Structure 1
Amino acid sequence: MEERFHQAPCGFVTMTSDGLMKSANETFLNMLNYSAQDVIEKHIESILSAANKFFFHTYFYPFIRLYGHVDEMYLSLKSGSGQDIHVLLNGRRYEQDGVELIDCVFVHMRKRIQYEQELRNIKTKLEEAYKAKDEVIAELQALHRENEQKRQELIVLNGQLERLATTDTLTGLKNRRFFQERLAASIALFAEKASPCSLCIVDADHFKRINDTLGHDAGDRVLKQLAGIMQAGSREIDTVARFGGEEFVILLPGLEEQQVKAFAEKLRSAIELAPWSECAVTVSIGTATLTESDTDNTIITKADRALYASKAGGRNRVTHAAELKD
């Protein structure tokens, strides 16, 4: 097998991630008219032309680090007699015993006229760029700065997009999608560590009447003020979200039944006593506390039933799901 490897119809070189050649088969050595001592522990750039060194730095290294492989890279290698040997290079990165290595296969391109025609302009520009290396380095540095600036802009943009994807545009609260993700995480934490968690569903009383009599703009202002009161009355670890329409949800990690009832009652009172510019506003609240048998659907259903009981009981009140009869 080793004999077949050394006599393979293509050159084979293993080098470090820094370009230091560690082994080479006989085909590669014969292709370039070198002995093993001429290449082993030597840098790959020692057998590259000036233009190809630049090309190697701007194409091979970035691609092998980013993708782990490079396919059909066209290069000229310097032979032992000083001739240009045109090859196609395929490389693949791997790790062995904790050391990062790159296997490279070199195919001799004897019929290279078509390739030279396609690359002539590029090679000429690269050779000119290498001669004016100070200008090229300055340009590359400028490109790196621009790339870093664009990367930072992209990070900011991604953050803005993430906020838009998880935020209710009217109230500025988190949206239903974000709440569902946090609820799922709380249920998983409860299953793992029995960490308590409760939630409230808050619904504005007679909100349709507000829209019908005062208009939708007034209704929107009421929703925004409600959102502000709920956010101000919640802890930093709580999740306050708009569930839909005039309905809001508050996820309260760490609160047991009595604690969430006290929280909800305090919130209900703060809303009732708030200085409303449009009209008097009250809310009905349904609460529920996680149990071992709950899923994201069942805990919401329980809180929703408690909300319905608050509505049916005269509105402007708090009901916990544990108070309901099955």
Structure 2
Amino acid sequence: MDNQLDCAPGGYFSISESGFVQSVNRTFLNMLGMKSADELIGRHIETVMSPTNKMFFHTYFYPHIQLYERVDEMYFAFRTVDKQSVPVLINGVRQERGGEVVIDCMALLMRKRLEYEKDTLRSKHELEELYKTTREVNDRLEALHEEYESKQQELIEMNRKLETLASTDPLTGLHNRRFFEDCLRGELLASKDSNLPLSLLIADIDHFKTINDTYGHPVGDFVLIELARLLRETAGALSICARFGGEEFVVLLPAVGSEDAVAAAEQIRSVIENTLLGTHRVTISVGVDTSQPDSTEASLLERADLALYASKSNSRNRVSHAKQLAQT
């Protein structure tokens, strides 16, 4: 260590982030009544503190320097080799040196000792009371920490469920309209960026009102649930299926062109037509549109809806593509 720093009028010591002494100057060793730096280097700085001051160090010094990277003018006391208290004014700075985080500190002997001792006696009494209950407090803190971890996990799970509820249709388990609209916006942007097509299917259950009026809403709900299951299974893993409202469903097919989209829609229509839902058979009408360079969310929905209207107007239980309407 540089001779000037070694004999500086203030005690200097450097500790690791975990508190082990890395270097000290002669002034600090003299304060503690030590003859050699070997008596302190490699030991924890708390070995030259009383139990009360250890508590003080943990309560004020560590949290403060971790939060603000430095400590200015903190009243403190070290303990000499013969157990005497050495009151000091301590300054510290937390910094990185040689790839390692260290805490450099300067300790100046107190001049206004009587004033300091008055405050110290009061703090000492309070800290001794705290020290007596340390074990109980630590046990309580551990219990609170476990409770906190448990509550945090419950909160994470609750948030996950809320996110699922916010994006899911409660009856069918498919995505809801809001989630679908967000997906449509994102998939359309991705389609334009990648120069790949995006196809949209709108499917509507034929004569669904008759089912509700004849058999009641519980049967109607059962039909909706089973149809949603078939839709999800038939559309494929890469599709995005949602309940758009009432008996109307939508399917997004990323990177699928018009011909493949019509084929996919025909597959869905055929599976639903040929599957018995309880004791009922239903059919669907489907409208399809495929994105163009100038397509927007609104235009895709509008053109697919017009295609759906064409399917329903043309005896239902069929698939129509918007481009067929334009050709017609």
Alignment map for 1:1-326 (pairs within 5 Å): 18=18, 50=51, 53-54=54-55, 77-78=76-77, 123=127, 126-130=130-134, 132=135, 141-277=142-278, 279-325=280-326
Q: Tell me the distance in 1 between the aligned counterparts of 2:168 and 2:273.
A: 26
Q: Tell me the distance in 2 between the aligned counterparts of 1:213 and 1:294.
A: 41
User: How big is the shift at 1:242?
Assistant: 0.8
Given residue 271 of structure 1, which amino acid in structure 2 is its aligned partner?
A: I
Considering only aligned residues, what root-mean-square deviation do their CA atoms show, in Å?
Answer: 4.8
Given residue 249 of structure 2, which amino acid in structure 1 is its aligned partner?
A: F
Tell me, yes or no, if the aligned pair for 2:176 and 2:244 is still in contact at 8 Å.
yes
> What is the CA deviation profile of residues 195-249 of structure 1, one whole-angstrom value per residue up to 9, with x for unaligned ones?
3321211111122222222222121111111111101112122111111111111
Tell me, yes or no, if the aligned pair for 1:76 and 1:84 is still in contact at 8 Å.
no
Distance 1:139 1:203, change over 3 A: same
Q: Tell me the distance in 2 between the aligned counterparts of 1:257 and 1:60.
A: 69
Q: Tell me the distance in 2 between the aligned counterparts of 1:305 and 1:97.
A: 70
Distance 1:94 1:193, change over 3 A: farther
Q: Which has the larger radius of gyration?
A: 2
Given residue 77 of structure 2, which amino acid in structure 1 is its aligned partner?
A: K
Q: TM-score, normalized by length of structure 1?
A: 0.68
> What is the CA deviation profile of residues 110-156 of structure 1, one whole-angstrom value per residue up to 9, with x for unaligned ones?
799999999977x45530244x4xx7666655554444333333332
Given residue 204 of structure 2, which amino acid in structure 1 is its aligned partner?
A: D
- Listed as ranges, the gaps of 5+ residues in structure 1 are 1-12, 24-28
User: How big is the shift at 1:302?
Assistant: 2.0
Q: Tell me the distance in 1 between the aligned counterparts of 2:238 and 2:294.
A: 24
Q: Tell me the distance in 2 between the aligned counterparts of 1:119 and 1:298.
A: 76
Q: How high is the sequence identity, in percent, across the aligned residues?
A: 40
Given residue 163 of structure 1, which amino acid in structure 2 is its aligned partner?
A: T
Q: Tell me the distance in 1 between the aligned counterparts of 2:118 and 2:166.
A: 53
User: How big is the shift at 1:264?
Assistant: 0.3
Tell me, yes or no, if the aligned pair for 1:167 and 1:174 is still in contact at 8 Å.
yes
Q: Secondary structure at the match of 1:268?
A: helix
Q: Tell me the distance in 2 between the aligned counterparts of 1:124 and 1:80.
A: 16
- Listed as ranges, the gaps of 5+ residues in structure 2 are 1-12
Q: Tell me the distance in 1 between the aligned counterparts of 2:117 and 2:212.
A: 77
> What is the CA deviation profile of residues 153-184 of structure 1, one whole-angstrom value per residue up to 9, with x for unaligned ones?
33322222221121111011111222223222
Tell me, yes or no, if the aligned pair for 2:191 and 2:254 is still in contact at 8 Å.
no
> What is the CA deviation profile of residues 49-71 of structure 1, one whole-angstrom value per residue up to 9, with x for unaligned ones?
53564576578767987xx5599
Tell me, yes or no, if the aligned pair for 1:286 and 1:308 is still in contact at 8 Å.
yes
Distance 1:115 1:242, change over 3 A: farther
Tell me, yes or no, if the aligned pair for 2:242 and 2:251 is still in contact at 8 Å.
yes
Tell me, yes or no, if the aligned pair for 1:199 and 1:250 is still in contact at 8 Å.
yes
Distance 1:18 1:209, change over 3 A: same
Tell me, yes or no, if the aligned pair for 2:191 and 2:255 is still in contact at 8 Å.
no
Q: Tell me the distance in 2 between the aligned counterparts of 1:120 and 1:128.
A: 11
Given residue 131 of structure 2, which amino acid in structure 1 is its aligned partner?
A: E
Tell which deviates more after alignment, 50-59 or 257-266: 50-59
Given residue 196 of structure 2, which amino acid in structure 1 is its aligned partner?
A: S
> What is the CA deviation profile of residues 254-304 of structure 1, one whole-angstrom value per residue up to 9, with x for unaligned ones?
211111100001111111111133543111111112222223222222222
Distance 1:97 1:325, change over 3 A: farther
Distance 1:264 1:111, change over 3 A: farther
> What is the CA deviation profile of residues 296-315 of structure 1, one whole-angstrom value per residue up to 9, with x for unaligned ones?
22222222222122122222
Q: Tell me the distance in 2 between the aligned counterparts of 1:136 and 1:233.
A: 60
